Amino acid sequence: MKVLVVPTAERAATRAAGLVADCLNVGDRPVLGLATGSTMEPVYADLVARFRTGAISFSGATTFNLDEYVGLSPDHPQSYRRTMHRLLFDHVDIDVGACHLPQGDAPDPHVEAQRYDAAIAAAGGIDIQLLGIGRNGHIGFNEPTSSLGARTRIKTLTRSTRQANAAFFAKPEDVPRHAITMGIANILEARHCVLVATGAAKAGAVARMIEGPLGADCPATALQLHARATVIVDGHAAAGLELIDYYQEIHPDGEEPVLV
Ligand code: F6R
């Protein structure tokens, strides 16, 4: 796992956006795995800014978001589809027909989950997968005790996840109880995983993910099995890391090392 401890949340977003930009510029028909959540908002703002300068284009890109709430239609104001349009899709030259999210109001969510897996496979898999992390160690909506071998399916959200997401809804009871989410197996198949965590509230989950034992009680620990996982954290989110001096020695302020 490559651990980049950067000085600020802004730098974390810039660093993550830079990795996505590299993927867009190098790849022929890049496939991006996208996440939602507050941590990702500055990442998408940075990508939009890069697009406006002409540094990147999304014209050949395909995207797959990690998850969507069960029961919300694509045009529901709180759907992740609408969120992605507001933050990214509406501001760049992406082919909206190539932007995929699970359909939250599909007649049979289980069939929809299988369809989504097949669509990822048909696109040739994901080149770079953006990830946030929940305070309880979830990635996507793979809550604690999720099977580390599961693919896209329905998950019941924990009370803590619903509380964390309540701010986006008019009333706490409006937060859906279920989500269709890519599984840990999907995430581990992405060719590069980039997880971003900022703020003190994530320090415990970040320490457990990077330095704790592999276990379904913290699904993010599955990234320890990935051959190319990059974790970008600010100083607050890094506060619980025992080996922080080592990470800083290899990547001072999160920069790439100069090998001499
Ligand atoms: C949502 C998702 C979640 C979030 C996580 C962190 O698509 O994948 O795993 O990344 O809940 O959310 P924030 O960034 O709001 O703390």
Please name the amino acid found at residue 255. Answer: E
| Residue from 36, 101, 155, 169 to probe ligand 1 pocket by mutation (most atoms less than 8 Å from CB) | 36
**Residue 181: is its pLDDT beyond 90?**
yes
Instruction: Indicate if 138 belongs to the active site.
Output: yes
**Residue 259: is its pLDDT beyond 80?**
no
**Residue 260: is its pLDDT beyond 80?**
no
Nearest CA to ligand 1 atom 10: 132
Q: What is the fold, at CATH topology level, of the domain defined by 2-254?
A: Rossmann fold (3.40.50)
Determine if the pTM surpasses 0.95: yes
Given the residues 46, 65, 67, 112, the one annotated as active site: 67
Counted residue by residue, the chain has a size of: 260
| β-bridge mates for residue 139, sequence order | 142
Burial degree of 174 (CB within 10 A; 0-12, 13-18, 19+): exposed
Confidence of residue 27 (pLDDT cuts 50, 70, 90): confident
**Residue 106: is its pLDDT beyond 90?**
yes
Given the residues 46, 68, 117, 143, the one annotated as active site: 143
Mean pLDDT of 45-70: 98
Q: Which three-class secondary structure state does DSSP give residue 234?
A: strand
**Residue 18: is its pLDDT beyond 80?**
yes
Helices (H) and strands (E) in the chain, counts: 8, 10
**Ramachandran angles phi, psi of 70, nearest 5°:** -70, 135
Is the distance from CB of 216 to CB of 146 less than 8 angstroms? yes
**Residue 54: is its pLDDT beyond 90?**
yes
**Residue 169: is its pLDDT beyond 80?**
yes
**Residue 258: is its pLDDT beyond 80?**
no
Predicted confidence at residue 257, as pLDDT, reads: 81
Mean pLDDT of 66-95: 97
Lowest mean pLDDT among 27-31, 44-48, 117-121: 27-31
- Give Cα 181 distance to the centre of its chain: 11
Q: Provide CB contacts within 8 A for 111, sequence distance 6+.
A: none
**Ramachandran angles phi, psi of 176, nearest 5°:** -60, 155
Instruction: Indicate if 110 belongs to the active site.
Output: no
Burial degree of 122 (CB within 10 A; 0-12, 13-18, 19+): exposed
Q: Which three-class secondary structure state does DSSP give residue 125?
A: coil
- Does residue 254 come out as left (phi exceeding 0), alpha (psi in the -120 to 50 range) or beta? left
Nearest CA to ligand 1 atom 13: 37
Question: Which residue has tokens 């979830």?
Answer: 138
Nearest CA to ligand 1 atom 11: 134
**Ligand 1 pocket by C-beta < 6 Å: which residues?**
35-39, 66-67, 132-134, 138-140
Confidence of residue 252 (pLDDT cuts 50, 70, 90): very high
| Residue from 101, 138, 223 to probe ligand 1 pocket by mutation (most atoms less than 8 Å from CB) | 138
Mean pLDDT of 130-136: 97
